[in-house]
Amino acid sequence: MLWILSVQFLIQNVTNVDGGRHHNRIKKQKSEISPELAPADSPGEPPAVPADSPLTQPGNISSTSCIFNVSDYGAIGDGETDDTEAFKAAWKEACRVENGVVLVPSDQVFLITSTIFSGPCEPGLILQVDGMLMPPDGPDSWPESDSTKQWLVFYNLDGFTFTGAGTIEGNGQKWWDLPCKPHKGPNGKTLPGPCYSPALIRFFMSSNLVVTGLRIQNSPQFHVKFDGCQGVLIDSVSISSPKLSPNTDGIHIENTKSVGIYNSVIGNGDDCISIGPGCSDVEIEAVTCGPSHGISIGSLGVHNSHACVSNISVRNVFIKDSDNGLRIKTWQGGTGSVTGITFENIQMENVRNSVIIDQYYCLTKACRNETSAVYLSDVAYRNIKGTYDVRSPPIHFACSDTIACTNITMSEVELLPYEGVLVDDPFCWNAYGLQETLTIPPIDCLQEGMPQSLEESSLLGC
Ligand SMILES: *[C@@H]1O[C@H](CO)[C@@H](O)[C@H](O)[C@H]1NC(C)=O
Ligand SMILES: *[C@@H]1O[C@H](CO)[C@@H](O)[C@H](O)[C@H]1NC(C)=O
Ligand SMILES: *[C@@H]1O[C@H](CO)[C@@H](O)[C@H](O)[C@H]1NC(C)=O
Ligand SMILES: *[C@@H]1O[C@H](CO)[C@@H](O)[C@H](O)[C@H]1NC(C)=O
Ligand SMILES: *[C@@H]1O[C@H](CO)[C@@H](O)[C@H](O)[C@H]1NC(C)=O
């Protein structure tokens, strides 16, 4: 095994030495890149839908559907009565028939407590929310016996659609104001201790899922989370929370494969989309983020864990007023790899840390440097344009001391200050790759070719 790897390294080294020679030649390619997707004069508009976007129709109620209206199961929909039992009953019956639809009618507000909607169910099950669905209002109203880690859970389902013209309202404010949240304690301090707040919607151990059309807002914590799933399509969803709402990631995936996120608009207080360990084959297209903390791969490798992420493409995305743009973050001491990442046709507006790799991610500022790291390779940035917030350099590649990042491709990356002038030059540490065109601002610190030595062990196991 090691022998094969060494040979592969040799081959890669040879290829790269050759590539390195051409490094300084600026290839001005014909512009095959589409025009700006989200012009500055219409910042709220999502980028145009590419004609070949692999969309599927949102689940709709056809003549063969069997409708289970929650109102017929006793749901009151006055925004105060606990309608949980009615939802459970409607789910139970819809689950038993093919193409069952649990219908949450429009013009009413339904309150339910933390609930696990589980399968297995017959194929074609749909939960259609046309009205408003919400959890109890804050920690004081949360039933003590309920999990505070999550509200709606969809578990053990295959071929399930969550759709509708309605709104999932998270009632997050009282959770965001807990004294354990940043600056919400006495005198603007943050009280220590566990600070659980529920994720709004969690899909767990399920496959062939579709989420479309819904408006999802004000989650106490992550809005939509997928864990241990396979085959996920998210289309035409709107997610929103205030800029200062803590930990309100828009869409989070982990241990999930084969994911498409299309035509959606996300504004919140944390990552717009975050991709955790164990994800592969993820396509993100025609998404608008902002305000947010951008699109993030990571954090990976926490507590010396093993993390593998591969084949992620992010295309035709508009990121505005965000604390990060395109970010890959790993902790010191992890193992595994991040490979085959493409960021293409990204428009930025006033984005801090527009392009960032941080292999020293640490929440406490007390993390030691360690000898192992998650290996980053084959990361391409193509046609990344727009403006950055000058408080940080627009390009920052902080790779591990022991395991360099390799094969970073920069092509048509042009970032200008949103206001003022550049304070710091782009930063690189132990980062290898090539510029196909001249990057603006110039990034002289990206090293050509491949590093002398790579910890081969870091590549094993993905
Ligand atoms: C609803 O489904 C039918 C058949 O499955 C399809 O032809 C139609 O386009 C769908 N309508 C919408 C609005 O998705
Ligand atoms: C759902 O049921 C309620 C009560 O029976 C009814 O008023 C409402 O029209 C139904 N909604 C739909 C869309 O069928
Ligand atoms: C990469 O992921 C896409 C889906 O996003 C998939 O269609 C493609 O086959 C994957 N490529 C490889 C090499 O696995
Ligand atoms: C870890 O390594 C980086 C890069 O060599 C260095 O800048 C940083 O100061 C080190 N941190 C600690 C805590 O030693
Ligand atoms: C570098 O990464 C690109 C994808 O960004 C890939 O196509 C190419 O094969 C990689 N080169 C090497 C030498 O691994």
Boundary residue ending a domain (271, 303, 326): 271
Instruction: Indicate whether 102 and 15 sit together in one domain.
Output: yes
Which of 223, 252, 293, 396 is an active site residue? 293
In a domain, 452, yes or no: yes
Asked, for residue 277, whether it belongs to a domain, the answer is no
Question: Is 408 within the bounds of a domain?
Answer: yes
- Domain hosting residue 131, numbered range: 1-271
Q: How many domains does the chain have?
A: 2
The pTM assigned to this predicted structure is 0.86
Confidence of residue 42 (pLDDT cuts 50, 70, 90): very low
The answer to whether the beta carbons of residues 383 and 411 sit under 8 Å apart is yes
* Between residues 133 and 19, the one the model is more confident about: 133
The residues with which 234 forms a beta bridge, in sequence order, are 211, 261
Of all residues in the chain, the percent with pLDDT exceeding 90 is 78
Residue 159 and residue 300 in one domain: no
Q: How far does CA 198 lie from the centroid of its chain? A: 18
User: Are 233 and 344 part of one and the same domain?
Assistant: no
Check whether residue 320 and residue 412 sit in a common domain: yes
Q: Residue 8, SS3? A: helix
Can you tell me the distance from the alpha carbon of 71 to that of 52, in angstroms, rounded to the nearest whole number? Answer: 40
Distance CA 9, CA 172 (A): 50
Per-residue model confidence as pLDDT tens digits over 76-93: 999 999 999 999 999 999
Q: Using most ligand atoms within 8 A of CB, pick from 60, 65, 99 the residue to mutate for ligand 1.
A: 60
200 and 259 share one domain: yes
Asked if 263 and 330 sit in the same domain, the reply is no
Other CB atoms within 10 A of residue 293 CB: 25
Handedness of CA 258, 262, 268, 271 (dihedral sign): positive
Residues 105 and 217 in one domain: yes
In-domain check, residue 51: yes
Task: Say yes or no: 48 and 190 in one domain.
Answer: yes
Determine, yes or no, domain membership for 358: yes
pLDDT given at position 60: 55
Q: Is 412 inside any structural domain?
A: yes
Q: Residue for token digits 């022991």?
A: 402
- Position 230 in a domain: yes
Q: Are residues 259 and 363 in the same domain?
A: no
270 is an active site residue = yes
Task: Give bridge partners of residue 406 from the DSSP assignment.
Answer: 377
Asked if residue 330 and residue 456 are part of one domain, the reply reads yes
CA distance 155 to 116: 7
Query: CA 185 to CA 187: how far, in whole Å?
Result: 6
pLDDT tens by residue, 340-349: 999 999 999 9
Atom 8, ligand 4: which residue's CA is nearest?
369
CB within 8 Å of 70: residues ≥ 6 apart: 77, 83, 86, 87, 90, 102, 103, 104, 105, 110
293 is catalytic: yes
What's the CATH code of the domain at 334? 2.160.20.10
The reply to whether 76 and 183 lie within a common domain is: yes
The verdict on 260 and 319 lying in the same domain is no
Contact 333, 305 (CB under 8 A): no
* 3-state SS, residue 389: coil
- Banded pLDDT at 458 (limits 50, 70, 90): low
Locus of tokens 């004000």: 218
